[in-house]
Chains A and B, each alone.
Chain A
Amino acid sequence: MDAAWTAEDEQFRREVRQFCAEHLPDSIREKVLASRPLARDDYMRWQDILAKRGWIAGFWPKEYGGCGWTPTQSYIFQEETSYAGAPWLLPFGVNYVGPVIYTFGSEAQKRRYLPGILSNEVFWCQGYSEPNAGSDLARLKTRAVREGDVYVVNGSKIWTTMAHWADWIFALVRTDPSAKPQEGISFLLIDLKSPGITIEPIKSIDGLHHFNQVFFSDVRVPVENRVGEENKGWTYAKFLLGHERVLSAEVGKAKRCLERIQQLARERGLTANARYRDRMAGFEIDVLALEWTTLRLLSAVMGGQSPGYEASILKLRGSTILQAMSEFAVDVLSADALPYQPELMLDRINVADEELTGTMGIVTEFLFQRAPTIWGGSNEIQRNIIAKHALGL
């Protein structure tokens, strides 16, 4: 047993840290550190910078344009960039659909779609949930009926994060309604410019626009846009969800969040309060437990094991800890957290020092952090997965 990083990993960590120090634009870092809403351009600008360095899909195999990072390097990259205050590297293309395409897609699909993800030119979103099929994806009803070379898609997808910014959507659609619920589903790549698609915003609890409902009305999707076999989409979807959950521990963000709360408490003279300090100690211990659980998983993966229910642990705890810390940050602000009118923030999206809007980002974060315990398979679903697969109940 040895907790030391290898010399190569240490070197890689220094490289990522230095790269962030030199190339992460201050205006973006300031917004992220203040939890202020980011514009599409903010995300894209940072991802262009990463793409130029060849780091946007570092964990992809070299043959598909990645760097072939080890799981440890991917972890270090995520920890360092998020700790530095980089925007969330939007996972829809790089982490979700990209690996599905290079693992299950045809040669033509790899040639057609992977370059756009690597160059950050194509913005993807995820079409999984439906109004009556959230965590229970087997109930999804969006229909795709084959007519010659095309599927005709009808139905709608909901909670589609950033669909209003996206160029393409990857969607689960029902291709065989007579099959058992988890069979008869296919995985389609759909151009959002296709006729028959409308995107309606859904304002979320923080008063901002992250989510959408996407409607499909007789949308014609070429059969060549289906990944893998017809009616086997569930397999690809599960593969993707595994990737989604491993990402959700966000140790770097949690560490940054602790420091941020401490800074706010200092400004407000709260550090003299013993109960404040005890709460912070508790959060720090939670973050350490999350970090060392992640390291154990990494060590096992590096030793050749593949993660299973462990990903559910990281998803459940990572989201819960950040959620609790984001609420505690608001508690520290106390009455200073009460002014909250997000349009004021959006009006002056790059102005952080206004008295009224200076801490609104923290309130935004508090409100929006209710989402991660629901999305990606709610935490109740994660408990079901653990009970079934780890405990045999």
Chain B
Amino acid sequence: MDLSLTPEQKLLQDSVARFAAEHYGKRKRSPSADPSDGFDRETWREIAALGWLGAGLEERNGGFGGGPVETMVIMEGAGKALMSEPLLATMVMATRLLVETGQSADDIAPLLAGDEIITAALADRATGTLTLARGGQGAVLSGREPLMPYGDAADRFILAAKAEEAGETVLISLPAQASGVSRKGFRTLDGWPAAALAFENTPVSEDEILARGQAADRAQSIAADHAIAALCAEAVGIAQGLFDRTLDYLKQREQFGQPIGRFQALQHRMADMFIALEEARSLMIMATMALTGPEGDSRQRTLSAARLGVLSRTLHIGREAIQLHGGMGMTEELPVGAGFRRLKTLDLIFGGEPPHLERVAATYRQ
């Protein structure tokens, strides 16, 4: 057992931290207050050029032979800097869906190069509203996808639709410019970009279908496993950033003639935040290690447990960070509120807490 990073993984960690410092170091405002901060295609290309998008992929898929630990390192660093590029939706979710549906390295290459932005929904309710029906020439897609991350900027979407006749799930990769697609962009709770998509008899060709039935369900389930571990890492990174900021603030902010960090009441709250952060990091590692083991119910249960534990702890840190910053924590001048908003967003995706709690708690029915 060795839970430390390899020298290569440490280099990647440094590279993420350096990039974040260069691109996000001076940012004070939250993404919602500054539209240009929402998502920038040039930054995305730089990220791709650094090799992050393929860092967690095996070589046969066009990656660099890394795995879940590399993804964890990137997501944690990105979370710490509150980077708002589509890492979770594209690097993790869309890429994993493509890999698990057997797309070739050539098919995935444009995504990994940053040339094509492909996003996939994170809300875990995508199968409800989209239907794929027989049309005049072939299949046509109709319905709504109410919350597609980066929906306005994406070049391509991966969508889960229900096939009208067979009732099975169909995973579709569709260009954003396809006919009959309309999109309306908006910001989400975290200030990040998303769009509501509507499809009206959008033609879907056979080569745009990634998988059907069990293969589609399996790909979705595995992609969700990877996304949940990545989400844990992002949350830990955000919490680390909030924690560091709050600790600095306690050392600098003076009230009643001394730094507020001298007050034991605040020291103890900070110590509890520190413990919560360490425990969240432990559960993040548990989640990442689960991805190196066999697929299935047991792995999903472990990931759900990690997700619940990480978010309860990191959200605690988020709430405390605002409280200990006082009025300043409420403003968009500091990214404290933005971190909290992103944490709460992470808490609400993939079904929110209830299905994960149900999955872990079900064991205690016996």
Contacts and interface: CB of A to CB of B under 8 A. Distances in A.
A300 interface: yes
Contact of B4 (A303, A313, A380): A303
Interface in A268-297: 271-272, 274, 276-278, 280-281, 284-286, 288-293, 295-296
Interface string B174-190: 00000000000000000
B282 interface: yes
B268 A383 contact: yes
A3 interface: yes
A293 B279 contact: yes
Contact-residue size bin, chain B (C-beta under 8 Å from the other chain)? 35 or more
A198 interface: no
Most chain A CB within 10 A, of B288, B292, B361, B366, is at B361
B364 A280 contact: yes
B364 A276 contact: yes
B261 interface: yes
A390 B264 contact: no
A38 interface: no
B275 A316 contact: yes
Contacts of A277: 361-362, 364-365
A280 B361 contact: yes
Interface in B281-301: 281-283, 285-286, 288-289, 292
A303 B2 CA distance: 8
B271 A285 contact: no
Most chain B CB within 10 A, of A266, A284, A298, is at A284
B5 A1 contact: yes
Nearest to A261: B364
Interface in B231-249: 247
Interface stretch (A4-12, A49-57, A131-139, A146-154): A4-12
Interface of B: 1-6, 9, 69, 247, 250-251, 261-262, 264, 267-268, 270-272, 274-275, 278-283, 285-286, 288-289, 292, 305-306, 308-309, 312-313, 357, 360-366
16 contacts: A1-B69, A1-B289, A2-B1, A3-B286, A5-B1, A9-B1, A265-B364, A277-B365, A278-B357, A281-B360, A288-B309, A289-B309, A295-B282, A300-B3, A384-B264, A393-B270
Given A281-B357, A299-B1, A392-B251, 11 more contacts: A1-B9, A2-B2, A272-B365, A281-B305, A281-B361, A285-B283, A286-B309, A292-B285, A298-B1, A387-B267, A390-B274
